[in-house]
Structure 1
Amino acid sequence: MSTDSTSQFATPRIDGRALLGLYDPADTTDWGPIRAAQLHAGGQLALFLLGANVIGAALVTLILAHIAPSWALASWATIVAAVSVAITFRRLAARQRAGNAAGLRAVRDTVLEGVALAAVWSVPPLALGMRADAGTALGLWIVLSLLMTASATAMAALPLATLSFLGILGSAIAAMLFFVGGPVFAAAVLLFTALLMICCFSRARALVLIRAGEISLAERDETVSLLLREAEDHGADWLWETDAGRRVVRASARFAHSVGLDPVSINGKSLLQVLAGPSWEAGNVSAGLRQLAENLKGREPFRGVLLPVQVGDTERWFEIAANPRHDERGAFIGFRGVGSDVTEERASADKINRMARLDTLTGLPNRLLINEALVRAMADADKWGSRCAFMMIDLDRFKAVNDTLGHPIGDRLLSRVSERLASLMTDNEIIGRLGGDEFAVVVRDASDTLRLEHLAQAIVDTLSRPYEIDQHTLYTGASVGLATGPRDGRTAEMLIRSADLALYRSKDAGGGKFTSYEPQLHVAAEERRLLEQALRKALSNDELHLNYQPVVNADTGHLTGFEALVRWTHPELGVISPAKFIPLAEDARLIAPIGEWVLRTACAEAAGWPGETRVAVNVSPEQLHNPGFVSIVASALANSGLPAHRLELEVTESVFMRDDTGAVKVLERILGLGVRLSLDDFGTGYSSLGYLSRTRFSTIKIDRSFVIGAAKGVAEPIAIIRAVVVLAQSLGMTTTAEGVETADQHRMVQDLGCTKVQGYYFSRPLPVAEARALAHREGRERAVA
């Protein structure tokens, strides 16, 4: 141990202010017992102090009898006696109350005793001594000096009271001798008083140090005794010994106590029989006992054998270790070993093991325990020729709850979900949480397919009901993937994979449903895997190209710009739909490099268009949450020479769904470059006017689903389009209606006030050459006009 480390039993350093009782220091020292010791010491000499005051008062009365009336001296002496008696009773009572600990106030208030006593004793030197002759004053000084010395001795344990008494009375005596004998005598009195005060303080400190040391030693002795008692009372190790026939010999008392038998009755019994207890006759012995029997038969050293032992009504766990014994000729004569009762340790280990297999938020089994349960279910199904099942559950729209209301609300929602799921389970099912918003169900016996599907649908229906949490009404749903073993997987890993594929199909279909695994899902998963591998090479193999869809003025039909749309043509797979590879690019984290390529290519092409024709480029949330994206935009503009106001970046509302404001900051910096922003698919997600107030958009794009619905005369889409148009006009923005495919749809969006339109009614997405030709033709027509 380091020499500068402080033991918990070390004698405390005494702070002067703490010694006086002015405050309790903020250290590890317990001052309660020390202050109690101060009060005890003060009470021990209380009667001595009383006697000194009474005798001193009598002597002072005799000395001053010739210069003061008898009644005055008698009155004064009576007051001295009364104050001394009161202080004596107060000291004795405080000693009785203090017990083993006393508070700061009990010691600090003793200053009143010192002040009161000094006040009555200051009357003779100040009132009478200054008029006395030198002999009388000297006699008075001698008596008072003896009284001060006696008080310093009797009251030293309470230094604040003693120093107050000595200081006040010494000052009074010095004043008397200054007038009677001059400054030299007064200085001598002050020096004497100061020495008495120093001695008093030193003695008080010594008394406190002694008491603190006694307390420290007592604590140390108590701790050592406690440890020894604990080792004696709760010692779990015991010795055992057997002969060559495995019979117990010289059984120790602790061994006998551990197995609940008498030491005499154990000797001569088989060790295995003693440890087996009541189960010996039935032959129902534990695996640990069988292991011990094998080790004894082998006559080799062993250790760490764990076995349960029934002691009365309690099951205990013993750990056994031993070495073989041999006589001087080398013949085997038995074993000598040690046993330990490890019941508490095993209980703690079991508790830790259970905690490691339970989810801390919901209390449900976690991924580890669910996997173990599935392995057992599959083993039982294989053993009995039956079926088991595995369900994967994923909450729909849970991320929106976390992003908008915060993780505490999300955690409470998960707890409520777990309660609902647990209420649907029977002894045949085990529900657990895999992590995040993913749950799983292990169905031990899945022979009844109809019941299994009813359970999956009940999970979807139950989790789709609204939740009331902290005055919020939350709506979330659930998607379920169901796989049955061994048909859909002969191992736990394969069955989980099959359920995961079925869950993916449920999510891909919009959620809120369950899907049973089908072999085609593996085909789709393999196709997706191959497609991802091909997409990773698409950029380097120059397989991507851009088409440009015209955006026209809703009233005049004149071209205002193009939207750049990425297309992929694989040399073997042919044309691959953006609806298929764009989500794949986002999942595979490929959208950023593809998006950068689209941006640079579109800027380079648009720089050659005449006039003010703009190009719009879609930007993913992943790109905007990258602070370096601003530099990419600036670089694309600089390298292409395209004016910043002719570039329009289209973003969706999902950009704003994260907790951080990183995307907003990136958009503000992009606006600082002079680039225009367009809010795409407004109204289809978590529409909020807050997005429009936080970022300066130039255009709001109305999704084609509203255009189609409004063209059919549906009231809600018409109302939404009209509201968006009014909102955009009030904020100084334009509106673009997407998906306009007929003349009727065109007239409708015109009537509703949309500024621009795009769709197949005017043009499909054009190859680069046709888009370039259209842009130049429009430029020439405008020049002629």
Structure 2
Amino acid sequence: MVAHADRPAAAVIAAQLRSAGSVAPLRHTMTLLGLLFLWLIFFRCCPPVLLSGLGVALIAASITGLIVDRRRNASDRAPEPADLRRHAVGALMSGLVWSACMAMVGRSGSADGLVALWTLISCVMVCSAISYAPVPLSATAFLLPCIAGLGSLFRAPHHLPVQALASAYAAALLIGCFIYARIFSRQHAARAELQEKGEVVSLLLREYEQGGSDWLWQTDAARRISGVSPRFADMLGMAPEVLEGMPLIQLLAGRAWESGRFAAGLHGVADHLKRRESFSNLVLPVEVGGQWRWWALSASPRHDEGGAFLGFRGVGSDVTEQRESADKIAQLARFDPLTGLPNRSHLREALDRALEETRGYVPGCAFLMIDLDRFKSINDTLGHQIGDKLLGQVARRLRQICGRGEFCSRIGGDEFAVVISHVTNADVIARLSNRIIEALSQPYQVDQHVLHIGASVGSAQSPADGVGAEALTRSADLALYRAKAEGGGVHCAYEPQLHAEAEERRLLELALREALEKDELSVLYQPVVDADEGTIVGFEALVRWAHPQMGAVSPAKFIPVAEEARLIAPIGEWVLRTACHEAATWPDDVRVAVNVSAEQLAHPSFVTAVVSALAQSGLPAQRLELEVTESVFMRDDTGALAVLDQLQALGVHLSLDDFGTGYSSLGYLSRTRFDTIKIDRSFVIGASKNVQESKAIIRAVVTLAESLGMATTAEGVETQAELELVRTLGCHKVQGYYFGRPMAAADAAALFSAPLRVAG
């Protein structure tokens, strides 16, 4: 079998042998006529034995050539170069016989006989050259012996010019054979290569039609289907003979052909066909078997050699799956995958559209931002899977609440938003907000859990609160911030002062970031006194800020800003290091208390920071007391407890601040042993006004602390009466203005020159 790369060469060899074989009868006929000519002209001067021998040799050479050709033609194998060599052997035998004829007969003949013999030889050479021309090896094998025989035919000295002319004549025939063979080989090699390429293309087209997802189609000049491919017919579920001759546009339009309501893609195909111009990947819907599919069509016009338009030929493919995937991607790009609600980008489009539609109207549209209350604690305690299911139920309730003209969306996390396209009056916003709060605050059943959350809503309306999407969103966000600051579960509408307050917070944050670097912060110390002895047992370190332009900034103002801006951790660490350094100069039995935020406890390096502050200051761990509130445990119960355990292991004292004002969970007291429980000033004031509930709470806290081996500190004691009251109720330590306001470190150190005692 011939290798794929040798197929053009084999085709050329086959063409050479086939062409030579087609002219072989002429050569054989000329051989017989030449033999007869020899007998007629030379039977008187040449021995019959010689003529008979030449005749037998010529006939044997011809028969040998015929046998070789027949065997080759009968074989199924592809032609090989060896076949050319066998063919040349036959030509060589014929050439040698005619060369011997010239040598033997020419020696016996007269001058007229030489002319006659040369005439015969020249005719034989011409016929053989014509016959062997496609095969240069055979032409050479025949003509070279003939040229050599001319020397014996014209051997007389006066025959030299004739011999030269005859040799030139034979050489010219040989050169002509070479030139013809070269042209012949090139033509047939090119034809074989084109044929091979055509076969490859046909094979690829068949594979493309049979195994691919695409198909070929074509039309005639009248835009009717022609030459229907089997794959095209299969895609339409119709027989090829039924499709033949149908108008392409009518076929693609389906039932829409009667109504004329065509898809945009079909209009595009029709326009290109009408203008006779190429098109590529035009996507259009096609109804196949009662189902809609998406096809992509490409085609180019066909023309004949004269330039006449013949129609279109193109390729089609079913892109339904790709189209559905693209639609799903577009769905994901515009909708939240968890809740199915429109996402932030889709919400922006709806808000932009509402603003455009209501431009020039007062009021215009409204924007509501919704934040879920207490959702984070559910995520932290029950896991994100329960939280995700809860968000899904929240989304369903929002869909039920929002009616026509109201667009609800999930912004992200536990935040949602609603666009009211047209607002008739402000009551519409308030009523919808209250309905949302009421609906989202109802209990939820998620798996085996009954969950309770709430919702806070901030609203803004155009054009009063913003004429663009960014401004309106900003205003609603500020209103939501106010709603959350008020404790949640309420609706707040935007007010101009909210922007001023937000700007103030922003400027305050910028100034606070520079406060540490510019040494604007300071630490003051408020005494903590033993209720019975009246001696100072410690100080609480309190941070203060004096701004060059704003003056003294209240901690109630800048501490929340520091917590929001994530500045509380560096400020808290600075206060810790400063307090430890100052306390190291106090008497050995005086402690310093430092407040610790939830963010500080959540930081992995907090324990390291405490150890470093103690080591650098030289303060023993037993003289440091860290005050925490219950909010620490609400953020991360397990993590906070682990950090507190590590601090206790160092010897640091722990104090639970503001106990009774929060959740007052006994679980924290049972799992973490605090050294002190601080009673909030609000209970001290209530008890001094003879509020029985406040007195009962103080007694309960003192009893609880004593049973657990903890001390109690009453905060905010400002009068002698309050002091006597808390001492009567059993508090161990007191703190407040009655004993001194927060003071500088030097003033605190000066108090130890004379012990402070409680009057009475």
The answer to whether TM tops 0.5 is yes
On the 8 A contact 1:610/1:776 being kept in 2, the answer is: no
On the 8 A contact 1:390/1:484 being kept in 2, the answer is: yes
Counterpart selection for 2:559 from 582, 585, 597: 582
Partner residue in 2 for 1:573? 550
Partner residue in 2 for 1:78? none
Partner residue in 1 for 2:433? 456
The separation in 2 between residues aligned to 1:255 and 1:307, in whole angstroms, is 16
Deviates more, 1:750-759 or 1:288-297: 288-297
The separation in 2 between residues aligned to 1:301 and 1:407, in whole angstroms, is 55
In the alignment, structure 2 segments of 5+ residues that lack a partner are: 1-206
CA shift at 1:732, angstroms?
Answer: 1.2
Q: Does 1:735 align with 2:709?
A: no
Q: Does 1:679 align with 2:679?
A: no
Partner residue in 1 for 2:538? 561
Counterpart selection for 1:759 from 725, 732, 736: 736
Partner residue in 2 for 1:720? 697
Partner residue in 2 for 1:511? 488
Partner residue in 2 for 1:308? 285
The separation in 1 between residues aligned to 2:363 and 2:233, in whole angstroms, is 49
SS of residue in 1 equivalent to 2:742: coil
Q: Does 1:237 align with 2:214?
A: yes
Q: Does 1:593 align with 2:604?
A: no
Counterpart selection for 2:668 from 663, 678, 691: 691
The separation in 1 between residues aligned to 2:253 and 2:216, in whole angstroms, is 18
SS of residue in 1 equivalent to 2:685: helix
On the 8 A contact 2:523/2:544 being kept in 1, the answer is: yes
SS of residue in 1 equivalent to 2:709: coil
Q: Deviations over 1:385-410 (max 9, x none)?
A: 98333222111122223334444544
CA shift at 1:559, angstroms?
Answer: 2.4
The separation in 2 between residues aligned to 1:509 and 1:601, in whole angstroms, is 34
Change (3 A) 1:300 1:529: farther
Partner residue in 1 for 2:53? none
CA shift at 1:744, angstroms?
Answer: 4.0
CA shift at 1:576, angstroms?
Answer: 2.0
The separation in 2 between residues aligned to 1:766 and 1:298, in whole angstroms, is 93
On the 8 A contact 1:404/1:659 being kept in 2, the answer is: no
The separation in 1 between residues aligned to 2:330 and 2:288, in whole angstroms, is 25
Counterpart selection for 1:552 from 522, 529, 535: 529
Please list, as runs of the form range in 1=range in 2, the aligned pairs for 1:55-70 lying within 5 A after superposition: none
SS of residue in 1 equivalent to 2:743: coil
CA shift at 1:765, angstroms?
Answer: 2.0
For 1:693, give the aligned amino acid.
S
Q: Does 1:495 align with 2:472?
A: yes
CA shift at 1:337, angstroms?
Answer: 1.8
CA shift at 1:649, angstroms?
Answer: 0.8
SS of residue in 2 equivalent to 1:778: coil
Partner residue in 1 for 2:634? 657
SS of residue in 1 equivalent to 2:755: helix
Q: Does 1:669 align with 2:646?
A: yes
Change (3 A) 1:473 1:755: farther
Partner residue in 2 for 1:8? none
Partner residue in 2 for 1:531? 508
Partner residue in 2 for 1:465? 442
Q: Does 1:605 align with 2:578?
A: no
For 2:405, give the aligned amino acid.
N
Aligned length: 552
CA shift at 1:619, angstroms?
Answer: 1.0
On the 8 A contact 1:567/1:577 being kept in 2, the answer is: yes
Choose 1 or 2 for highest CA Rg. 2
CA shift at 1:666, angstroms?
Answer: 2.5
Partner residue in 1 for 2:461? 484
The separation in 2 between residues aligned to 1:578 and 1:296, in whole angstroms, is 78
Please list, as runs of the form range in 1=range in 2, the aligned pairs for 1:120-269 lying within 5 A after superposition: 237-242=214-219, 248-250=225-227, 255=232
CA shift at 1:678, angstroms?
Answer: 0.6
On the 8 A contact 1:259/1:274 being kept in 2, the answer is: no
Change (3 A) 1:276 1:467: closer
The separation in 2 between residues aligned to 1:615 and 1:268, in whole angstroms, is 100
Counterpart selection for 2:376 from 374, 395, 399: 399
Partner residue in 1 for 2:413? 436
On the 8 A contact 1:552/1:758 being kept in 2, the answer is: yes
Identity of aligned residues (%): 62
Change (3 A) 1:498 1:269: farther
Change (3 A) 1:471 1:518: same
Q: Deviations over 1:391-432 (max 9, x none)?
A: 221111222233344445444443443343333122332333
On the 8 A contact 1:627/1:662 being kept in 2, the answer is: no
Change (3 A) 1:432 1:268: same
CA shift at 1:595, angstroms?
Answer: 0.9
Partner residue in 1 for 2:679? 702
The separation in 1 between residues aligned to 2:715 and 2:211, in whole angstroms, is 81
CA shift at 1:480, angstroms?
Answer: 0.8
Partner residue in 2 for 1:320? 297
Q: Deviations over 1:36-71 (max 9, x none)?
A: xxxxxxxxxxxxxxxxxxxxxxxxxxxxxxxxxxxx
Q: Does 1:445 align with 2:404?
A: no
The separation in 1 between residues aligned to 2:315 and 2:569, in whole angstroms, is 67
SS of residue in 2 equivalent to 1:610: coil
CA shift at 1:581, angstroms?
Answer: 1.9
Change (3 A) 1:469 1:282: closer
The separation in 2 between residues aligned to 1:657 and 1:378, in whole angstroms, is 41
CA shift at 1:536, angstroms?
Answer: 1.5
The separation in 2 between residues aligned to 1:476 and 1:676, in whole angstroms, is 36
Q: Deviations over 1:140-159 (max 9, x none)?
A: xxxxxxxxxxxxxxxxxxxx
Q: Does 1:645 align with 2:622?
A: yes
CA shift at 1:482, angstroms?
Answer: 1.4
In the alignment, structure 1 segments of 5+ residues that lack a partner are: 1-229
On the 8 A contact 1:392/1:441 being kept in 2, the answer is: yes
CA shift at 1:589, angstroms?
Answer: 1.8
The separation in 1 between residues aligned to 2:283 and 2:360, in whole angstroms, is 29
On the 8 A contact 1:711/1:748 being kept in 2, the answer is: yes
Q: Does 1:338 align with 2:320?
A: no
CA shift at 1:542, angstroms?
Answer: 0.8
Partner residue in 2 for 1:520? 497
CA shift at 1:365, angstroms?
Answer: 3.7
CA shift at 1:344, angstroms?
Answer: 4.1
Change (3 A) 1:555 1:330: farther
On the 8 A contact 2:362/2:463 being kept in 1, the answer is: no
The separation in 2 between residues aligned to 1:257 and 1:445, in whole angstroms, is 53
On the 8 A contact 1:613/1:775 being kept in 2, the answer is: no
The separation in 2 between residues aligned to 1:562 and 1:588, in whole angstroms, is 28
Deviates more, 1:469-478 or 1:444-453: 469-478
Change (3 A) 1:677 1:450: same
Q: Deviations over 1:326-349 (max 9, x none)?
A: 443566654322222333443344
The separation in 2 between residues aligned to 1:517 and 1:304, in whole angstroms, is 52
SS of residue in 2 equivalent to 1:728: helix
For 2:252, give the aligned amino acid.
L
CA shift at 1:677, angstroms?
Answer: 0.9
The separation in 1 between residues aligned to 2:375 and 2:498, in whole angstroms, is 25
For 1:446, give the aligned amino acid.
V
On the 8 A contact 2:209/2:215 being kept in 1, the answer is: no
CA shift at 1:650, angstroms?
Answer: 0.7
Deviates more, 1:333-342 or 1:307-316: 307-316
